[in-house]
Structure 1
Amino acid sequence: MFSKESKKTNENKVSERNIVGKNTQISGEIISEGDFRIDGTLEGTIKTNGRVIIGETGFIKGKVECTNADIEGKFSGELIVSNTLTVKTSANINGDVIIGKLSVEPGASFNATCSMKGAVKEMKNNEQKGKEKTA
């Protein structure tokens, strides 16, 4: 009924969920394909194709590269989110941020330089469309 190919596809889609607990401190570099929830402290780097969640008690000082991020706690450093960054009311962000999309709730502290990856492409496309219409 099921081919070997469909079984392999399902096995590859299994996503890891990693949690750094409230009273845990980590220093170093973390590379993974799975999601991360940080409720403790991390000084260093996280690189993942998954989602990074910084809980209300969480703090990251360093560099984060991920697909999506939800921040409720504190972040200081360089944050690169290829898709959507969601900044919750209790969040405190300082540093440099590069994102695809941004959602900030009222009350959040967002003291960062911010650039959006997709904005430049959209402007170029709009300029070309405008030229095509007037030509």
Structure 2
Amino acid sequence: KNCEVEGVVDGRVVVEELLSLRSMSKLYGEIRTGKLAIEPGATFTGKCDMGAKKENTSGTEQASKARQ
């Protein structure tokens, strides 16, 4: 559920609740987590996805619904 990083991680990290990057940590890659805490001095390079997935509704679908 929770994860604390104190070293170097290179890759994908999935944490259900809280991901904490400690001051000496380095994370390179993709994060998917509910909450993210980054201490001063930590390094994060990559992509972060937090929270619920959003609906993917294209402009065509929206225009079609508006005409109905």
TM range (shorter): 0.7 to 0.9
Choose between structure 1 and 2: higher helix proportion. 1
Structure 2: tracts of 5 or more residues without a match: 55-68
Number of residue equivalences = 54
- 1:110 alignment partner in structure 2: 44
1:82 and 2:3 matched: no
- 1:10 alignment partner in structure 2: none
Higher relative contact order (CA 8 A, sep 6+): 2
User: Percent of aligned pairs with the same residue?
Assistant: 31
CA RMSD of aligned residues (A): 1.4
Which 4+ stretches in 1 moved above 2 angstroms? 117-120
2:30 to 76, 90, 96: 96
Question: 2: CA distance between counterparts of 1:68 and 1:90?
Answer: 18
Tell me which amino acid in the other structure corresponds to 2:51: K
TM-score (norm 2): 0.73
- Distance apart, 1:119 and its partner CA: 7.7
Q: Considering only CA atoms, is the larger Rg found in Structure 1 or Structure 2? A: 1
Tell me which amino acid in the other structure corresponds to 2:9: F
Tell me which amino acid in the other structure corresponds to 1:83: E
Question: 2: CA distance between counterparts of 1:68 and 1:87?
Answer: 11
Match of 2:48, SS state, is strand
Match of 1:75, SS state, is strand
Match of 2:41, SS state, is coil
- Distance apart, 1:118 and its partner CA: 3.9
